[in-house]
């Protein structure tokens, strides 16, 4: 395992640096490292590290979501309340509708299989989007209009919505049926996640304040460890309650970090955010190299041009959904275009659930995995590249933050 970890960090960082020199996003180098070193090409990674890959990827996501939560200002979210709520489900619905309408004729699958494929493909990648939105908040791009906050909030709930639909459509594809309670899990999961995280954040802030009042000073480095421990507990609670009630652990983590930011002084929340930013340097490499390792490149060869066409057609529908969400806002045309671009990338969710239909023995499993792999390879680099190129041109910068603005990943 240590050899594999050395390879992940050293090769991943080296490839990321090469891509950066070529003016490409660093994640492209990390994804390529994972694809090449993974079990489907050179097979350099130890099976023991691949077996815990989902857990390592989740830990990395927790780290960036904590940093995101510590960067979010609830007052900014209030400014974009209606669009943020709509962004949580309407773009995904439009993308799934595209698969339902066109995939049966283009990819020769049934309507039920098209719904299942759409639910795999419809989730935006928080791993690609969230770090960039955090950077925009820190450098002031789009913050006066709360655009990064809008995209982060929508993307956080978008995944929950899509994963619940995926679970439901999988049951239907296996011959089962969907009930009202299956769809009711979506708002329940979101609301309980926010409630659970808010309570955890309040209790944590109370603990830190009480310790400080009794002259037991908790160093910020120790706070990071405690916050991580509580975050892992929130994810564990989601797993404990599975089968009884649906709770989003990742949304709870973000909500907890938001409450901590509200309850803490600006200095403390900024220091915590900086420390999680440093942890993200390592976590980012682990996340994207292991996402790359989960990509079975062999399936891209069998997908063909029809699958590529279907992916882009669905992205057009998704962009129409984003446009609908932003109707009635004061965003300029360029700002609306940036929101569409930010909602393109796919990676983590597709890597996690793309192979599930095949593992369940469904006849559509191979084509769904093929399209999921293609979507990762096309949209993750494309979305990252276009966001990095356009954010300075499309978004207005808040005054007083000149001199900042280079995205590092």
pLDDT at 257: 93
Tell me the pLDDT band of 181, cut-offs 50, 70 and 90.
Answer: confident
Alpha-carbon distance 294 to 151, whole Å?
Answer: 26
pLDDT at 404: 53
Alpha-carbon distance 163 to 186, whole Å?
Answer: 9
> Most confidently modeled of 85-89, 95-99, 255-259, 305-309?
95-99
For 77-91, 98-112, 187-201, which range has the lowest pLDDT when averaged over its residues? 77-91
Q: Indicate the domain borders of the chain.
A: 2-394
* Structure-token pair, residue 341: 């671009």
310 close to 106: Cβ distance less than 8 angstroms: yes
**Cβ neighbours for 55, distance < 8 A, ≥ 6 positions apart:** none
Tell me the pLDDT band of 295, cut-offs 50, 70 and 90.
Answer: confident
Tell me the pLDDT band of 178, cut-offs 50, 70 and 90.
Answer: low
* Structure-token pair, residue 193: 């996640």
DSSP code of 24? S
215 close to 24: Cβ distance less than 8 angstroms: no
pLDDT at residue 299 tops 80: no
Tell me the pLDDT band of 180, cut-offs 50, 70 and 90.
Answer: confident
pLDDT at 219: 87
Alpha-carbon distance 368 to 356, whole Å?
Answer: 9
pLDDT at 267: 84
pLDDT digits (tens, 9 = 90+) for 92-101: 999 999 999 9
- Measured CA to CA in angstroms, residue 245 lies from 235, 242, 354 at distances of 14, 6, 24
pLDDT digits (tens, 9 = 90+) for 17-26: 999 898 888 8
DSSP string across 371-389: HHHHHHHHHHHHHHHHHHH
CB burial of 313-337 (b: ≥16 within 10 Å; e: otherwise) equals bbbebbbbbbbebbeebebeeebbb
pLDDT digits (tens, 9 = 90+) for 253-274: 999 999 999 888 888 888 899 9
pLDDT at 402: 54
Q: What percent of the chain is helix, strand and coil (3-state, nearest 5)?
A: 80, 0, 20
280 close to 274: Cβ distance less than 8 angstroms: no
pLDDT digits (tens, 9 = 90+) for 313-367: 999 999 999 999 999 889 999 999 999 999 999 988 888 888 889 888 998 888 9
* 39-49 average pLDDT score: 93
CATH of domain 2-394: 1.20.1530.20
Alpha-carbon distance 400 to 392, whole Å?
Answer: 15
pLDDT at 400: 65
CB burial of 88-109 (b: ≥16 within 10 Å; e: otherwise) equals bbbbbbbbbbbbebbbeeebeb
pLDDT at 215: 78
- As to burial, measured by CB atoms within 10 angstroms (0-12 exposed, 13-18 middle, 19+ buried), residue 172 is middle
pLDDT at 409: 52
């Amino acid at each position: 395992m240590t050899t594999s970890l050395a390879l992940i960090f050293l090769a991943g960082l080296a490839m990321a640096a090469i891509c950066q020199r070529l003016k490409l996003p660093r994640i492209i180098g990390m994804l390529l490292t994972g694809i090449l070193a993974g079990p489907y090409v050179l097979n350099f990674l130890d099976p023991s590290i691949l077996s815990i890959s989902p857990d390592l990827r989740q830990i990395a996501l927790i780290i960036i979501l904590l940093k995101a939560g510590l960067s979010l200002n609830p007052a900014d979210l209030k400014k974009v309340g209606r669009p943020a709520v709509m962004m949580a489900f309407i773009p995904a619905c439009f993308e799934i509708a595209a698969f339902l309408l066109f995939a049966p004729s283009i990819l020769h699958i049934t309507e039920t299989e098209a719904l299942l494929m759409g639910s795999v493909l419809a989730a935006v990648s928080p791993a690609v989007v969230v770090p960039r939105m955090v950077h925009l908040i820190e450098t002031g791009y789009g913050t006066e209009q709360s655009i990064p906050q809008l995209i982060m909030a929508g993307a956080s709930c978008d995944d929950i919505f899509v994963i619940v639909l995926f679970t439901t459509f999988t049951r239907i594809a296996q011959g089962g049926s969907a009930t009202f309670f299956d769809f009711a899990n979506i708002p329940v999961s979101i609301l309980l996640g926010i409630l659970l995280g808010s309570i955890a954040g309040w209790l944590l802030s109370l603990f830190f304040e009480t310790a400080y009042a009794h002259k037991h000073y908790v160093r910020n480095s120790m706070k990071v460890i405690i916050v991580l421990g509580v975050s892992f507990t929130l994810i564990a609670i989601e797993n404990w309650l599975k089968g009884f009630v649906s709770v989003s652990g990742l949304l709870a983590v973000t909500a907890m970090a938001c409450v901590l930011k509200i309850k803490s002084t600006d200095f403390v929340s900024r220091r915590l955010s900086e420390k999680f930013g440093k942890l993200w340097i390592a976590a980012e490499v682990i996340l994207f190299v292991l996402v790359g390792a989960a990509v079975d490149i062999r399936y891209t060869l069998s997908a063909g041009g029809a699958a590529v066409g279907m992916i882009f057609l669905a992205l057009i529908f998704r962009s129409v959904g984003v446009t609908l969400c932003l109707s009635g806002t004061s965003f300029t045309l360029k700002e609306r275009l940036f929101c569409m671009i930010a909602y393109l990338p796919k990676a983590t969710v597709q890597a996690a659930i793309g192979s599930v239909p095949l593992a369940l023995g469904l006849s559509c499993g191979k084509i769904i995995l093929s399209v999921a792999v293609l979507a990762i390879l096309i949209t993750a680099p494309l979305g990252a590249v276009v966001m990095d190129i356009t954010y300075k041109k499309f978004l207005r910068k808040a005054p007083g933050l000149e001199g900042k603005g280079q995205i590092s990943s």
